[in-house]
């Protein structure tokens, strides 16, 4: 099973203090300001290399003009899921007015109390109801950071009462990636899984992209066709403080990207 995590944009209306994009990509002009690929370029690349499943994330993916056309073009071939902050109601209206795209398996509508105003809260609720009414499986995700859960308790309780699946996600601290660990790992990242930036550049996993060593781990530009020797850019054994490994052991969602990190054993 080949799974790609596609970020069509790094732009977002919010700037949450705990967001990994804020703490990494926004501080890297070479990534943040790179011109995004066009829908034509995404389509051509997907024709050449079609994965089984794609998760679309951001930034806020609905701020990109390619998100809906990508799902429309590939939704019958590729299993899609998507993460949104739920604030782009016009784009979500397009999605909910479309005949139900059966391959869009789940929509993760994240909730960010740090940024939320009453107006945004009602937009958030509107989005969730519209998607549910249209038959999409909706998951509301909130990051376990400082007072997030406590401040949102009533709102999250109301969502649960509506039958919405609420998931508490661990805070992902990118600062720990400056230090390498003493516990080597091996995994399927770069083989069954890619993380693809708005301009098409690809990494084996989110941890490698978030780490300060991201230039070393860049596999090349997937839209142009990755070079043959990408294995030289995949950390093996891997000494990064792997976020996927932590998720696999500690989070209810487990190994969500299927990278399957395990302790390294000599061949």
Query: Binding residues for ligand SF4, per CB under 6 A?
Result: 185, 187, 189, 204-205, 207-208, 235, 238, 240, 242, 244-245, 259, 261
Work out how close the CB of 240 gets to ligand SF4 at its nearest, in angstroms, rounded to a whole number.
Answer: 4
Q: Which is nearer to ligand SF4, 66 or 187 (CB)?
A: 187
Farthest-apart Cα atoms in the chain, separation: 57
Work out how close the CB of 31 gets to ligand SF4 at its nearest, in angstroms, rounded to a whole number.
Answer: 17
Torsion angle (degrees, nearest 10) of CA 242, 219, 203, 11: 140
Q: Which is nearer to ligand SF4, 134 or 233 (CB)?
A: 233
Work out how close the CB of 22 gets to ligand SF4 at its nearest, in angstroms, rounded to a whole number.
Answer: 20
Q: Which is nearer to ligand SF4, 127 or 259 (CB)?
A: 259
Q: Report whether the peptide linkage leading into residue 110 is cis, meaning its omega lies within 30 degrees of zero.
A: no
Q: Contact at 8 Å (CB) between 207 and 177? A: yes
Distance, CA of 248 to CA of 39 (rounded, Å): 33
Distance, CA of 13 to CA of 58 (rounded, Å): 11
Residue 126: partners with Cβ closer than 8 Å, 6 or more residues away? 89
Work out how close the CB of 111 gets to ligand SF4 at its nearest, in angstroms, rounded to a whole number.
Answer: 27
Distance, CA of 232 to CA of 236 (rounded, Å): 9
Q: Which is nearer to ligand SF4, 81 or 259 (CB)?
A: 259
Neighbours of 7 (CB within 10 A): 24
Work out how close the CB of 113 gets to ligand SF4 at its nearest, in angstroms, rounded to a whole number.
Answer: 29
CA angle 222, 193, 261 (to 5 degrees): 140
Work out how close the CB of 97 gets to ligand SF4 at its nearest, in angstroms, rounded to a whole number.
Answer: 38
Q: Which is nearer to ligand SF4, 221 or 259 (CB)?
A: 259
82-114 exposure pattern, b = at least 16 Cβ within 10 A, e = fewer: bbbbbbbeebbeebbeeeebebbebbbbbbbbb
Q: Which is nearer to ligand SF4, 130 or 194 (CB)?
A: 194
Q: Which is nearer to ligand SF4, 44 or 181 (CB)?
A: 181
Does residue 59 sit in helix, strand or coil? coil
Work out how close the CB of 80 gets to ligand SF4 at its nearest, in angstroms, rounded to a whole number.
Answer: 22
């Amino acid at each position: 099973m080949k799974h790609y995590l596609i970020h069509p944009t790094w732009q977002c209306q919010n700037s949450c203090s705990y967001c990994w994009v804020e703490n990494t990509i926004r501080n890297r002009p070479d990534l943040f300001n790179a011109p995004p690929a066009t829908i034509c370029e995404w389509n051509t690349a997907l024709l050449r290399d079609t994965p089984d499943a794609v998760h679309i994330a951001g930034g806020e993916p609905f701020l990109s003009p390619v998100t809906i056309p990508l799902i429309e073009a590939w939704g019958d071939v590729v299993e899609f899921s998507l993460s949104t902050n739920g604030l782009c109601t016009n784009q979500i209206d397009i999605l909910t007015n479309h005949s139900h795209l059966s391959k869009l398996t789940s929509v993760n509508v994240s909730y960010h109390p740090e940024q939320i105003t009453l107006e945004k809260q009602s937009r958030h609720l509107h989005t969730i109801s519209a998607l549910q009414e249209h038959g999409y499986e909706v998951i509301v995700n909130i990051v376990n950071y400082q007072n997030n859960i406590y401040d949102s308790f009533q709102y999250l309780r109301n969502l649960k009462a509506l039958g919405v699946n609420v998931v508490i996600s661990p805070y992902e601290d990118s600062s720990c990636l400056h230090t390498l660990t003493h516990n080597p790992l091996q995994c399927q990242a770069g083989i069954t899984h890619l993380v693809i930036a708005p301009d098409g550049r690809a990494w084996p996993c989110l941890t490698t992209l978030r780490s300060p060593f991201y230039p070393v781990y860049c596999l090349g530009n997937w839209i142009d066709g990755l070079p043959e020797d990408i294995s030289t850019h995949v950390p093996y054994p891997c000494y990064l403080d792997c976020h996927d490994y932590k998720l696999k052991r500690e989070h209810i969602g487990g190994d969500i990207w299927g990278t399957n990190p395990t302790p390294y054993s000599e061949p």
